[in-house]
Structure 1
Amino acid sequence: MTVTSVVILGGYGNFGKRIAENLAAIPGIKIIIAGRCAKKGGRLCQQLAAQGANATLEAAVLDIYQPEFVAKLRALSPELVIHTGGPFQGQDYRVPEACIAAGCHYIDLADDRRFVCDITALNEKACAANVLIVSGASSVPGLSSTVIDSFSNQFAQLDSIDFAIAPGNQAERGEATVRGILSYTGHPFMVFSDGNWVHQYGWMSPRRVQFGDKIGPRWLANVDIPDLELFPKRYTPVRTVRFQAGLELPLLHLGMVFMAFLAKCGLVRDWSVFTRTIFRLSTLFQKAGTDMGAMQVNLSGLDWRQQVKQIRWTLYAENGVGPYIPTISAILLAKKLIAGTLDSRGATPCLGLYTMAEFDQEAASLGIYHKTETHLG
Structure 2
Amino acid sequence: MGKKILVLGGYGTCGRRISRSLATMPSVECVIGGHHPHKAGQSAAGEISAITVNINDPASLRRAFDGVFAVVNTVGPFQERDYMVAETCAGMGIHYVDLADARTYVEGISRLQRRASNKNCLIVCGASAVPAVSSALVDTVVSEFDRISEIHTCISPGNKNPYGMATVRALLSYTGSPLRIKENGRWRYGYGWSESQVVSFPKPVGRRRVYLCDAPDLDLFPTRYGAQTVTYRAGTELKLFNYGLAVLGRSRRSGLIKNLPGWAKGLNAASHLFRGFGSSLGGMQIRVQGRKNGDELAHTLCLIVRDDNGPAIACSPAVALIRKWVEHGVPESGAMPCVGLLTWNEIKAEMVDYNITLVRV
The answer, yes or no, to whether TM exceeds 0.5 is: yes
Of 291, 299, 318 in structure 1, the residue corresponding to residue 288 of structure 2 is: 299
The 5 A counterparts of 1:67-216 are 67-75=58-66, 77-216=67-206
TM-score, normalising length: structure 1: 0.93
- Aligned partner of 1:258 in structure 2 is 247
Answer yes or no: is the 8 Å Cα contact 1:140–1:226 preserved in 2.
Answer: yes
Answer yes or no: is the 8 Å Cα contact 1:3–1:340 preserved in 2.
Answer: no
Please give the secondary structure, in 1, of the residue aligned with 2:81: coil
Of 269, 290, 299 in structure 1, the residue corresponding to residue 258 of structure 2 is: 269
- Which residue identity does 1:157 align to in structure 2? R
Question: How many angstroms apart in 2 are the aligned matches of 1:21 and 1:103?
Answer: 25
CA deviation profile, 1:190-212 (whole Å, cap 9, x unmatched): 11011111001011112211112
Answer yes or no: is the 8 Å Cα contact 1:11–1:20 preserved in 2.
Answer: yes
- Aligned partner of 1:355 in structure 2 is 343
- Shift of the alpha carbon at 1:39? 1.6
- Shift of the alpha carbon at 1:52? 4.2
Answer yes or no: is the 8 Å Cα contact 1:215–1:293 preserved in 2.
Answer: yes
- Shift of the alpha carbon at 1:359? 2.2
Answer yes or no: is the 8 Å Cα contact 1:3–1:79 preserved in 2.
Answer: no
Question: 1:62 and 2:53 equivalent?
Answer: yes
Answer yes or no: is the 8 Å Cα contact 1:206–1:257 preserved in 2.
Answer: no
- Aligned partner of 1:18 in structure 2 is 17
Answer yes or no: is the 8 Å Cα contact 1:131–1:346 preserved in 2.
Answer: yes
- Shift of the alpha carbon at 1:74? 3.5
Please give the secondary structure, in 1, of the residue aligned with 2:215: coil
Answer yes or no: is the 8 Å Cα contact 1:81–1:106 preserved in 2.
Answer: yes
Please give the secondary structure, in 2, of the residue aligned with 1:362: helix
- Which residue identity does 2:251 align to in structure 1? L
Question: How many angstroms apart in 1 are the aligned matches of 2:344 and 2:102?
Answer: 24
Aligned residues: 361
Unaligned 5+ segments in structure 1 are: none
- Which residue identity does 2:326 align to in structure 1? I
Question: How many angstroms apart in 2 are the aligned matches of 1:97 and 1:52?
Answer: 31
Answer yes or no: is the 8 Å Cα contact 2:155–2:234 preserved in 1.
Answer: yes
CA deviation profile, 1:97-118 (whole Å, cap 9, x unmatched): 1111222100000011111011
Answer yes or no: is the 8 Å Cα contact 1:3–1:337 preserved in 2.
Answer: no
Please give the secondary structure, in 1, of the residue aligned with 2:278: coil
- Which residue identity does 1:292 align to in structure 2? L
Please give the secondary structure, in 1, of the residue aligned with 2:32: strand
- Shift of the alpha carbon at 1:67? 4.9
- Shift of the alpha carbon at 1:70? 3.1
The 5 A counterparts of 1:317-328 are 317-328=305-316
Answer yes or no: is the 8 Å Cα contact 1:298–1:311 preserved in 2.
Answer: yes
Question: 1:286 and 2:285 equivalent?
Answer: no
- Which residue identity does 2:253 align to in structure 1? K
CA deviation profile, 1:281-305 (whole Å, cap 9, x unmatched): 00001111000110000111101x2
- Shift of the alpha carbon at 1:3? 7.0
Please give the secondary structure, in 2, of the residue aligned with 1:203: coil
Question: How many angstroms apart in 2 are the aligned matches of 1:229 and 1:29?
Answer: 34
Answer yes or no: is the 8 Å Cα contact 1:202–1:260 preserved in 2.
Answer: yes
Please give the secondary structure, in 1, of the residue aligned with 2:141: helix
Please give the secondary structure, in 1, of the residue aligned with 2:271: helix
Answer yes or no: is the 8 Å Cα contact 2:20–2:45 preserved in 1.
Answer: no
- Which residue identity does 1:27 align to in structure 2? P
- Aligned partner of 2:322 in structure 1 is 334
- Which residue identity does 1:87 align to in structure 2? P
- Shift of the alpha carbon at 1:356? 1.5
Question: 1:368 and 2:356 equivalent?
Answer: yes
Please give the secondary structure, in 2, of the residue aligned with 1:125: helix
- Shift of the alpha carbon at 1:71? 3.1
Displaced runs of 4 or more, over 6 A: none
Answer yes or no: is the 8 Å Cα contact 2:8–2:74 preserved in 1.
Answer: yes
Question: How many angstroms apart in 2 are the aligned matches of 1:167 and 1:251?
Answer: 14
Please give the secondary structure, in 1, of the residue aligned with 2:140: helix
- Shift of the alpha carbon at 1:123? 0.8
Please give the secondary structure, in 1, of the residue aligned with 2:48: strand
Tell me the C-alpha RMSD between the 2 structures. Answer: 1.4
Question: How many angstroms apart in 2 are the aligned matches of 1:133 and 1:71?
Answer: 16
- Shift of the alpha carbon at 1:360? 2.5
